[in-house]
């Protein structure tokens, strides 16, 4: 079964978006300032 390149890219993109959503959610819960949450990502 061949998985298309686009499907793989979409999957990776969705995973990245999900990770960002989790990080934002955790940062809102734990930190009043959003800056700390982005430090591990280097943004």
Between CA 35 and CA 19 the distance in angstroms is 16
pLDDT of residue 30: 67
Residue with the bigger pLDDT between 21 and 42: it is: 21
pLDDT at 2: 74
Q: What is the span of the domain harbouring residue 37?
A: 5-41
Banded pLDDT at 33 (limits 50, 70, 90): low
Dist CA 28 CA 24 (whole Å): 6
User: What's the pLDDT at 13?
Assistant: 93
Range from 4-8, 12-16, 19-23, 33-37 carrying the lowest mean pLDDT: 33-37
* Domains in the chain, number: 1
- DSSP assignment of 10-31 equals HHHHHHHHHHHHHHHHHHHHH-
């Amino acid at each position: 079964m061949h998985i298309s390149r686009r499907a793989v890219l979409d999957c990776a993109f969705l995973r990245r978006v999900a990770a960002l959503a989790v990080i934002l959610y955790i940062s809102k819960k734990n930190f009043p300032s959003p800056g700390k949450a982005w430090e591990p990502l280097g943004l």
